[in-house]
A and B are shown apart, each in its own frame.
Chain A
Amino acid sequence: MADPRSRPAAPASSSAPAAGAADPATAAGWVDAPPRMGFFTDTSVCIGCKACEVACKEWNGVPTSGLDLLGMSYDNTGALTANSWRHVAFVEQPRPAGHATGSFAGNPTGDPAGAASAARSAGTTNPTGTEPGVLPGQPPVAARMTEFLGMPAAGPPGRTGSAEERSDFRWLMMSDVCKHCTRAGCLDVCPTGALFRTEFGTVVVQEDTCNGCGYCVSACPYGVIDRRADDGRVWKCTLCYDRIGAGLTPACAQACPTESIQYGPLDELRERAAARVATLRERGEPQAQLYGHDPHDGVGGDGAFFLLLDEPEVYGLPPDPQVTTRDLPAMWRRAGLAALAMTAAAVGAFLGGRR
């Protein structure tokens, strides 16, 4: 997988002009690269079967992420980590789901389960063997959110207690994955060239080069890439570089029974996604929205984008991610200024006065 031609990738991708204008593979120095490939994950047809998680682990030989009951609905994976390259999120909400009458309309309700149990599940830790692995939530934060109408609380999610709010109910499922950004922070900041841009426009780690400096972990605006504790190197979705190179579909998309995970040339996927959103809005899903499809967003668009039925943060996604290196020139300027001030101060210190 190590590819010398990946070296120019870093400078090229960071110096990509107007966001998303250039094809990342070409910008990375690939000569006549194939069309950019990616994922379109349509959460409106996801049935939360987790076949994607299992297929990914089986194909890529990803180690177990721990045998812990998290109490986050049916999510016992918790997050994308070095040991989970696909993560199915489950959100239980007292929100209408396009049902003619609310799922629980007319059923009696009583006291809410309350903030205590919310805090409890948010406090669940999970020894994934990854560092930092799945962090516990902030119990106070979670407890607060049980009172907040219409947003997923932390255990039992969506619980609000009053009959009207109970009557409408929906259960959102979403298979998360590395976004393979057009302007990838992880790739930009990697000091060893272990991360590189493939000819398909995806971002992959070369495990024989990575020395585990961990810079990419802090640079990812989605919190995807992660360092494996017992291994010291970082790991993440490769979009099955070895499979797509051989003309095969990535394991997760291959295993998905409902075509929630679609793989293909990014341009086609974007057209398909736009059409799907239109259909859903017609059918009374006003909240249906695309995420990561826009080449003009803060990361120049994602190679893996999503159709969501609620705001991104509901699924644990940042609402407006930006690649940190976008501000790098300004950072260097400020640092230069500070360096000058430092020199000046030193010089002044010796010239000023004679004692």
Chain B
Amino acid sequence: MNPDRPAVGDRFRRFRAGRRAGEELAVPPAEFTSYYGRPILKPPVWTWEIAAYLFTGGLAAGSSLLAAGGQLSGRAGVRRAGRVAALAAVTASAGLLVKDLGRPERFHHMLRVAKPTSPMSVGTWILTAYGPAAGLAAVAEVAPLLPRRGPLGLARRALPPVGRAAGLTAALVAPALGTYTAVLLADTAVPSWHEAYADLPFVFAGSALASGAGVGLLAVPPAQAGPARRMAVAGAGLELFGAHRVEGRLGLLGEPYRTGRAGRLLRAGRALTVAGVAGAVLGRRSRLVSAVSGVALLAASVATRFGVFHAGVASARDPKYTVLPQRARLDRRAAEPGG
């Protein structure tokens, strides 16, 4: 069997091998070679817009879930806040994505094909499905402000049911929107992104929930914020669990997540998350504390996304993150019987 492609069953062992390798890789730094110390890979040409989009996309997803929950549990405030936040976030996302293109005027070329092998193409279609739904749901919130009579009166009566349908649709797509971005990063040659593909989705899912919860805590009185608090706790849990595995389990490739700019951002994110959750739980009586906690959770999500983004860029810039893991892989294969 081709040693390159271990059966799924081998995967787990491969991860442990990875960890072992990680320890082996704690060798004197001089013992790797490159071409004049220059990067082998081209670091991502993506700039801050993509990191920001990781946040806004997640925020939209979290908010839509929050909104749907509010809708189904009859919490109008929660629903309204969620729907508005979702629309704002998804609008920002679209803007950021177009701005990052080398040829923004050609953004519609994204719609030429649908390619499951291209997470960006998949993401395009997810956004295409999610955007209008989220938008419609948010628009439905203006119904109460419309006059009772006339054509607008008709809309005033028609909008709420449409909004409910749209809200639920958006909520159904939201989890995909919240997690595909992890695949978007992982499906590259960027060492620290690719090797983290098993755990990044959980980091992003958690971060998305937490940010959504942040909106809830910020927008609704503590009395209604119970679900948001519980969402914050769950989200934080998911995120911290994922982040811990990313930094710990990748051996050498976890280094970029721990060091430098990325390390600082991720530590900040973790601190803010913990603070946010603590505030949300302990300060549940105080509107102010809840609001501050909400802001903390949103900030945490921003920090985490930028942190992950920069960790990948750093891993692509230093040839050692390309050479050493691949060397280790070759050595393991040579060691394998029949390898």
Interface residues of A (CB under 8 A from B): 7, 10-11, 14-15, 18-19, 72, 78-79, 89, 91, 121-122, 131-132, 134-139, 141-142, 144-145, 147-148, 151-152, 154-155, 157, 185, 188-194, 209-215, 217-227, 231-234, 296-298, 311, 313-322, 324-328, 330-332, 334-343, 345-350, 352-355
Interchain CB contact under 8 A, A217 and B230: no
Q: Is B120 an interface residue (CB 8 A)?
A: yes
CB-nearest residue of chain A to B29: A144
* Known contacts A10-B117, A330-B11; 12 further A-B pairs (Cβ under 8 A): A10-B115, A19-B4, A137-B37, A141-B34, A144-B30, A191-B113, A210-B102, A212-B106, A223-B39, A330-B198, A334-B199, A350-B69
**10 A-B residue pairs with CB within 8 Å:** A135-B39, A155-B36, A209-B109, A213-B110, A214-B44, A319-B323, A327-B197, A342-B65, A349-B228, A350-B73
Interchain CB contact under 8 A, B101 and A135: no
- In the bound complex, CA of A234 to CA of B100 (Å): 14
CB-nearest residue of chain B to A71: B36
Interchain CB contact under 8 A, B118 and A152: no
Interchain CB contact under 8 A, B234 and A349: yes
Q: Which of B68, B190, B201, B327 contacts A334 (CB 8 A)?
A: B201
Q: Which residues of A contact B25 (CB under 8 A)?
A: none
Sorting the interface of chain B by its residue count into under 10, 10 to 19, 20 to 34 or 35 or more gives: 35 or more
Interchain CB contact under 8 A, B189 and A218: yes
Q: Which residues of B contact A349 (CB under 8 A)?
A: 69, 213, 227-228, 230-231, 234
- In the bound complex, CA of A328 to CA of B176 (Å): 15
Interchain CB contact under 8 A, A343 and B175: yes
Interchain CB contact under 8 A, B323 and A313: yes
- In the bound complex, CA of A311 to CA of B176 (Å): 42
CB-nearest residue of chain A to B232: A349
Interchain CB contact under 8 A, B102 and A324: no
- In the bound complex, CA of A218 to CA of B118 (Å): 12
Q: Is B208 an interface residue (CB 8 A)?
A: yes
Within B126-180, the residues touching A (CB, 8 Å) are 174-176, 178-180
Interchain CB contact under 8 A, B37 and A345: no
Min CB distance, B151 to chain A, in Å?
Answer: 36
Interchain CB contact under 8 A, A11 and B202: no
Q: Which residues of B contact A313 (CB under 8 A)?
A: 32-35, 40, 319, 323, 327
Q: Is B320 an interface residue (CB 8 A)?
A: yes
Q: Is B204 an interface residue (CB 8 A)?
A: yes
- In the bound complex, CA of A132 to CA of B44 (Å): 8
Q: Which of B33, B104, B179, B230 contacts A338 (CB 8 A)?
A: B179
Within B281-339, the residues touching A (CB, 8 Å) are 316-320, 322-323, 326-327, 329-330
Q: Is B269 an interface residue (CB 8 A)?
A: no
Q: Which of A213, A334, A336, A339 contacts B198 (CB 8 A)?
A: A334
- In the bound complex, CA of A205 to CA of B124 (Å): 21
Interchain CB contact under 8 A, A220 and B41: yes
Interchain CB contact under 8 A, A214 and B41: no
Q: Which of B35, B46, B66, B206 contacts A89 (CB 8 A)?
A: B35
Q: Which of A185, A223, A318 contacts B326 (CB 8 A)?
A: A318
Interchain CB contact under 8 A, B109 and A188: no
Min CB distance, A113 to chain B, in Å?
Answer: 14
Min CB distance, A172 to chain B, in Å?
Answer: 11
Q: Which residues of A contact B204 (CB under 8 A)?
A: 338
CB-nearest residue of chain A to B320: A141
Q: Is B276 an interface residue (CB 8 A)?
A: no
Min CB distance, A57 to chain B, in Å?
Answer: 20
CB-nearest residue of chain B to A73: B36
Q: Which residues of A contact B316 (CB under 8 A)?
A: 218
- In the bound complex, CA of A159 to CA of B32 (Å): 16
Q: Which residues of A contact B31 (CB under 8 A)?
A: 148
Interchain CB contact under 8 A, A342 and B45: no
Min CB distance, B164 to chain A, in Å?
Answer: 16
- In the bound complex, CA of A83 to CA of B209 (Å): 43
Interchain CB contact under 8 A, B42 and A218: yes
Q: Which residues of A contact B228 (CB under 8 A)?
A: 349
Min CB distance, B339 to chain A, in Å?
Answer: 12
Min CB distance, A71 to chain B, in Å?
Answer: 9
Q: Which residues of B contact A19 (CB under 8 A)?
A: 2, 4-5
Interchain CB contact under 8 A, A332 and B30: no
Min CB distance, A12 to chain B, in Å?
Answer: 10
Interchain CB contact under 8 A, A136 and B35: no
Also in contact, A339 and B117, with CB within 8 A (given A225-B42, A346-B66):
no
Min CB distance, A55 to chain B, in Å?
Answer: 23
Most buried by B among A72, A193, A331: A331
Q: Which residues of B contact A135 (CB under 8 A)?
A: 38-39, 43, 317
Interchain CB contact under 8 A, B202 and A338: yes
Interchain CB contact under 8 A, B188 and A132: no
Min CB distance, A135 to chain B, in Å?
Answer: 5
Q: Which residues of A contact B61 (CB under 8 A)?
A: 342
- In the bound complex, CA of A122 to CA of B38 (Å): 7
